[in-house]
């Protein structure tokens, strides 16, 4: 029974692969290579900066879209198609199903990011002809992007556990956009007074702070990333994903599968 999570995760990964989601990578790699050639021709001196910015932003956006696109259907689609019935009538607990789905999707995104990162490094090599030590910082930015994905996966699952795929997509994407401006929201909270201050501050700390994960620009300028930020972001992402996942489990445990 302990292995149920691993079996469900592996099947979720297999589903994503057979759903041809990973094949968007080929398109992405081609697009990025094409863009790198083009950038090399039009932006003298800053071509490397543009490739890193463009490449990492694309990795992040593609991944977010995939996480939301797959995540929102993970539970609701199984209920709707009743594929869940033959899983939960076995010695599988509901929390194992949710956690297995989470790891399956997270695994898909990690593999996705790995291949997309190869595309970024290939484009970088094309424009700069060699790697330098500061290019290793790109790995930190990629790590933060993966952490971001973990949060989005958990949120997509949370929404998927109680609402339709369409609504889940709207909720998850809205939260992603708001989360990208979490710092601004926190600053705004500092400017308000009274009850609204409490409400805005509460909302600002409740939404995921994705702005803390965005180090793409500084990495592109070869500025080092503080070790403390790496630790902080890691703990924050794990905590936030665990909370969202717990919420998904709590809702799903109580749900009647009509």
Choosing from 85, 114, 198, 205, the residue that interacts with other proteins (CB under 8 A) is 85
Taking the C-alpha atoms of residue 140 and residue 244, their distance in angstroms, rounded to an integer, is: 24
Cβ proximity to other proteins: between 104 and 208 the closer is 104
Cα–Cα distance for residue pair 63/109, rounded to 1 Å: 7
What residues contact 150, with CB distance under 8 A and at least 6 apart?
A: 106, 237, 238, 241
Instruction: Kindly tell me which of 84 and 170 has the beta carbon lying closer to other proteins.
Output: 84
Nearer to other proteins, 93 or 186 (CB): 93
Q: Does 251 bind other proteins (CB under 8 A)?
A: no
Does position 41 interact with other proteins (CB under 8 A)? The reply is no
Question: What single-letter DSSP state applies at residue 163?
Answer: S
Of 89, 133, 194, 228, the one binding other proteins (CB under 8 A) is 89
Cα–Cα distance, 181 to 208 (Å, whole number): 10
The label of the residue with tokens 């939404």 reads 207
228, containing H or E segment: helix 227-254
Contact assessment for residue 189 and residue 101, using Cβ atoms and an 8 Å cutoff: no
- 160 part of the interface to other proteins, by CB under 8 A: no
Q: Considering CB under 8 A, how many residues would be counted as binding other proteins?
A: 27
Nearer to other proteins, 221 or 254 (CB): 254
Residue 73 CA to residue 222 CA, distance in Å, equals 39
Q: Interface with other proteins includes 14 (CB under 8 A)? A: yes
Nearest approach in angstroms of CB 46 to other proteins is 44
Contact residues for other proteins, defined by CB under 8 A: 1, 3-4, 7-8, 11, 14-15, 18-19, 81-93, 254, 256-258
């Amino acid at each position: 029974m302990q292995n149920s999570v691993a079996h469900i995760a592996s099947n979720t990964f297999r589903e994503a692969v057979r759903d041809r989601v990973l094949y968007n990578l080929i398109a992405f790699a081609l697009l990025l290579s094409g863009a790198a050639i083009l950038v090399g021709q039009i932006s003298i001196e800053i071509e490397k900066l543009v490739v890193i910015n463009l490449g990492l932003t694309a990795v992040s956006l593609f991944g977010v879209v995939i996480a939301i696109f797959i995540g929102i259907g993970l539970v609701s689609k199984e209920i709707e198609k009743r594929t869940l019935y033959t899983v939960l009538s076995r010695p599988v607990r509901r929390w194992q199903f949710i956690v297995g789905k989470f790891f399956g999707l997270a695994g898909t995104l990690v593999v996705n990011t790995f291949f997309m990162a190869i595309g970024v490094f290939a484009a970088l090599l094309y424009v700069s002809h060699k790697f330098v030590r500061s290019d290793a910082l790109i790995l930190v930015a990629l790590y933060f992007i993966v952490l971001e994905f973990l949060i989005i996966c958990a949120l997509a699952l949370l929404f998927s556990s109680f609402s339709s795929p369409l609504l889940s997509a709207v909720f998850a994407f809205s939260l992603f956009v708001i989360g990208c401006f979490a710092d601004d929201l926190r600053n705004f909270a500092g400017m308000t007074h009274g009850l609204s201050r409490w409400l805005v501050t509460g909302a600002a700390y409740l939404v995921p702070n994705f702005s803390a994960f965005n180090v793409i620009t500084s990495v592109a300028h070869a500025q080092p990333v503080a070790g403390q930020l790496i630790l902080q972001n890691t703990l924050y992402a794990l905590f936030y994903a665990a909370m969202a996942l717990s919420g998904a489990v709590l809702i799903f445990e109580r749900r009647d599968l009509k």
